């Protein structure tokens, strides 16, 4: 455990070493949040309800979603493909470290840094814009939000690792990752709450793993889901976690069979 | 005194020289772009995924706008097709400038590795070489369908006139002049402090605030986006011109500002070149 703690800490230190680049990366993210924030603020003045959301709920969704994405979607596992293609994976294979645990520990270090910056950014946004936010006080819903957020973190990790494993078979790994992030923007509910789309489309999306990364934790926080909906969400999310875990293990085994340490 | 007066033959020679230079740079641009394209197409799957990803990103945001404005009818006083025109105008400026100035993204490596010295010894302008030394064909692939969609969107606007379209194109060109000025400024910054990538990305993200009407943003952000960071001049002005609601004075002001920015950026580039230390070579 101490070993993985140290790996996470190293990742934090690495991010601190390049803090200007990191801060600018976060600043870019902030511009996107501002676009969505002001757009929703404009179309949803106080007292108006649109798509089942009032102003405080939608602004909470946008800003809360921005915070959650720094927990759930911050990752360093995009380095996996490079490690495989450069042959540097061999260094890791020779050490008494679990591959997935190593990368998860790195992710935790990166997430910690992203959360730190996210709190800083959102504090500034809050102090300047004074948004009308929805505060959840139900302890059960807060606990469920935390559980869904952690489950989303694990789901995202498996997705990201699987994309990195493409490196076993191809050097062209950035293209699939680029498409994945574009799909994620829509299907995870980063752009807008998914329940504003037509009902049939929403039903299809709700059986995919993506809504459980961001949309679902935020809906739970807003208290807009019934108990059966939460149970259904928990079942689908848990099932996808198991499926992705099995796929990841299998792809890892097959990948190692074709790994040639090319480049070393 | 004599040196100030050129004969007709000298004038012809001067024009001929300019034409030869132009041909030389066009040929150079074509050759370098061909090479960059060949390199890009080595990763065929990458090209397909990248292009598809860009189209997906574009369509998702468009879908969101159509859905949102379809429900609210108006956003900041603009109809659905007008809001789409804002989004398309932003995409036009973004894609064309990425296509033309892609070499700027590679400039930092030239400075850090010392390869910029090599460019300085060539009988070509280091500025033109650093700006246009290889355009990215991948950006061009998405441009043509975008132009088609833009023409369709313009045809859906009720208030559209030929003069409006003319000024729209004129102000779109003006937006590209502002982008040119910014990229020259970034090159100068790269020479002085090797900082290129972050400056470009911040400016691009700021420009992206213009993908929706600037009137949506509250003051003072809206004012800053119009006058300090000229997003309003780049995106809002062409759209307003197309809709026939932009005054002639505003058009003049837009060109004065872009001219001033271009002049300032060229001065900054010369200043940066004078202080280039060639430390990396």
The whole-number pLDDT of residue B38 equals 84
B23, pLDDT greater than 90: no
Contact B46 A197 (CB under 8 A): no
Contact A28 B64 (CB under 8 A): no
The whole-number pLDDT of residue A1 equals 77
Mean pLDDT of A29-48: 87
Cβ atoms A24, B198 nearer than 8 A: yes
When scoring B39, B42, B56 by the number of chain A Cβ atoms within 10 A, the one with the most, hence best to mutate, is: B56
The whole-number pLDDT of residue B217 equals 86
Q: Where are the alpha helices (DSSP H) in A139-173?
A: 139-165
The whole-number pLDDT of residue A229 equals 93
Q: Rounded mean pLDDT of chain B?
A: 86
- Name, in order, each residue with C-beta under 8 angstroms of B29's C-beta and a sequence gap of 6 or more: B132, B133, B135
Contact A182 B72 (CB under 8 A): no
The alpha-carbon gap from A255 to the nearest alpha carbon of chain B, in Å, equals 20
CA B175 to chain centre: 7
Residues forming a β-bridge with B75:
B78
Give the predicted TM-score (pTM) of the model.
0.84
Tokens matching residue A11: 């990742």
More confident residue, B240 or A16: B240
Give the SS3 label for residue B234.
helix
Domain extents in chain A: 2-258
The alpha-carbon gap from B231 to the nearest alpha carbon of chain A, in Å, equals 13
Torsion, CA A206, CA A210, CA A211, CA A215, rounded to 10: -170
Lowest mean pLDDT among A146-160, B8-22, B139-153: B8-22
Q: Where residue B92 falls among pLDDT bands split at 50, 70, 90?
A: very high
The whole-number pLDDT of residue A144 equals 95
Helix (H) or strand (E) holding A253: helix A227-258
- Residues of B within 8 A of A185 (CB-CB) are 57, 60
B11, pLDDT greater than 60: no
A239, pLDDT greater than 90: yes
When scoring B51, B54, B64 by the number of chain A Cβ atoms within 10 A, the one with the most, hence best to mutate, is: B64
The upper half-sphere exposure of residue A218, i.e. CA atoms within 13 Å in the direction of its Cβ, equals 30
pLDDT tens, position by position, A147-204: 999 999 999 999 999 999 999 998 888 888 999 998 988 899 988 899 888 889 999 9
Mean pLDDT of B108-118: 87
The whole-number pLDDT of residue B6 equals 47
Cβ atoms A187, B59 nearer than 8 A: no
Chain B residues with at least one Cβ partner in A under 8 Å: 43, 45-50, 52-54, 56-57, 60-61, 63-64, 67-68, 71-72, 75-76, 198, 201-202, 205-206, 208-209, 211-212, 216-218, 221
Tokens matching residue B260: 């001033």
- Name, in order, each residue with C-beta under 8 angstroms of B88's C-beta and a sequence gap of 6 or more: B146, B149, B150, B153
The whole-number pLDDT of residue B10 equals 56
CA B220 to chain centre: 25
Chain A and chain B share a number of CB contacts under 8 A equal to 86
Q: How far apart are CA A210 and CA A197, in angstroms?
A: 15
Q: Where residue B170 falls among pLDDT bands split at 50, 70, 90?
A: very high
ipTM of the prediction: 0.82
Domain extents in chain B: 8-274
Helix (H) or strand (E) holding B264: helix B248-274
> Is the CA virtual torsion A189, A193, A195, A201 positive or negative?
negative
Lowest mean pLDDT among A209-223, B129-143, B172-186: B129-143
pLDDT tens, position by position, A240-255: 999 999 999 999 999 9
When scoring B39, B42, B44, B45 by the number of chain A Cβ atoms within 10 A, the one with the most, hence best to mutate, is: B45
Q: Where residue A205 falls among pLDDT bands split at 50, 70, 90?
A: very high
DSSP secondary structure string, A47-115? T--BTTB-HHHHHHHHHHHHHHHHHHS---TTHHHHHHHHTTHHHHHHSS--HHHHHHHHHHHHHHHHH
Q: Where residue B5 falls among pLDDT bands split at 50, 70, 90?
A: very low
B4, pLDDT greater than 50: no
Q: How far apart are CA A90 and CA A94, in angstroms?
A: 6
Cβ atoms A141, A223 nearer than 8 A: yes
* Percent residues over pLDDT 90 in chain A: 47
> CA–CA distance from A253 to each of A66, A165, A250 (Å)?
35, 10, 5
CA angle (A188, A68, A17) in 5-degree steps: 115
Q: Rounded mean pLDDT of chain A?
A: 89
Instruction: Compute the residue count for chain A.
Output: 264
B58, pLDDT greater than 50: yes
pLDDT tens, position by position, A80-122: 999 898 888 898 888 888 888 999 999 999 898 889 889 988 8
The alpha-carbon gap from A96 to the nearest alpha carbon of chain B, in Å, equals 35
Determine the residue of chain A that is closest to B199 in CA distance: A24
């Amino acid at each position: 455990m101490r070993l993985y703690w140290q790996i996470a800490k190293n990742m934090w230190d690495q991010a601190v070493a390049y803090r200007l680049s990191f801060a600018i990366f976060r600043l870019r993210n902030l511009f996107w949040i501002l676009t969505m924030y002001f757009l929703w603020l404009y179309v949803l003045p106080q007292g108006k309800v649109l798509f089942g959301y009032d102003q405080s709920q939608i602004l909470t969704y946008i800003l809360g979603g921005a915070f959650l994405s720094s927990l759930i979607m911050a990752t360093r596992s995009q380095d996996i493909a490079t490690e495989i293609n450069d042959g540097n994976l061999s260094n890791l294979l020779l050490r008494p470290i679990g591959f997935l645990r190593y990368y998860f520990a790195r992710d935790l270090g990166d997430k910690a840094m992203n959360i730190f910056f996210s709190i800083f950014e959102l504090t500034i946004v809050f102090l300047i814009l004074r948004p009308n936010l929805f505060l959840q006080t139900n302890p059960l819903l807060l606990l469920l939000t935390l559980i869904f957020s952690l489950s989303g973190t694990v789901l995202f990790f498996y997705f990201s690792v699987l994309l990195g494993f493409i490196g076993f078979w191809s050097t062209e790994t950035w293209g699939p990752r680029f498409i994945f992030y574009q799909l994620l923007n829509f299907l995870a509910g980063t752009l807008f709450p998914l329940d504003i789309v037509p009902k049939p489309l929403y039903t299809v999306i709700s059986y995919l793993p993506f809504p459980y990364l961001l949309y679902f934790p935020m809906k739970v926080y807003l208290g807009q889901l019934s108990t059966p909906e939460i149970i259904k969400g928990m079942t689908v999310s848990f099932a996808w976690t198991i499926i992705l875990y099995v796929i990841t293990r299998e792809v890892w085994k097959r990948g190692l069979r074709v790994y040639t340490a090319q480049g070393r | 005194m004599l040196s100030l007066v050129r004969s007709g033959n000298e004038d012809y020679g001067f024009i001929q020289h300019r034409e030869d230079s132009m041909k030389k740079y066009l040929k150079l641009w074509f050759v370098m772009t061909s090479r960059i394209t060949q390199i890009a197409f080595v990763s065929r799957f990458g090209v397909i995924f990248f292009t598809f990803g860009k189209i997906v990103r574009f369509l998702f945001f468009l879908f969101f706008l159509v859905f949102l404005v379809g429900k609210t009818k108006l956003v900041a006083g603009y109809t659905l097709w007008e809001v789409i025109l804002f989004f398309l105008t932003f995409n036009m400026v973004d894609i064309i400038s990425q296509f033309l100035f892609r070499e700027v993204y590679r400039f930092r490596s030239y400075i850090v590795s010392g390869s910029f010295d090599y460019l300085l010894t060539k009988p070509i302008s280091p500025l033109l070489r650093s700006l246009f030394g290889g355009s990215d064909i991948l950006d061009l692939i998405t441009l043509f369908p975008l132009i088609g969609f833009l023409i369709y969107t313009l045809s859906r606007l009720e208030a559209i006139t030929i003069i409006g379209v003319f000024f729209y194109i004129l102000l779109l060109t003006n937006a590209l002049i502002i982008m040119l000025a910014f990229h020259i400024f970034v090159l100068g910054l790269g020479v002085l402090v090797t900082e290129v990538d972050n400056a470009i990305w911040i400016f691009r993200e700021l420009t992206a605030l213009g993908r929706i009407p600037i009137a949506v943003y509250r003051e003072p952000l809206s004012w800053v986006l119009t006058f300090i960071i000229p997003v309003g001049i780049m995106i809002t002005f062409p759209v307003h011109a197309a809709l026939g609601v932009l005054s002639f004075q505003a058009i003049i002001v837009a060109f004065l500002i872009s001219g001033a920015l271009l002049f300032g950026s060229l001065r900054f580039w010369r200043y940066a070149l004078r202080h280039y230390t060639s430390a990396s070579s």
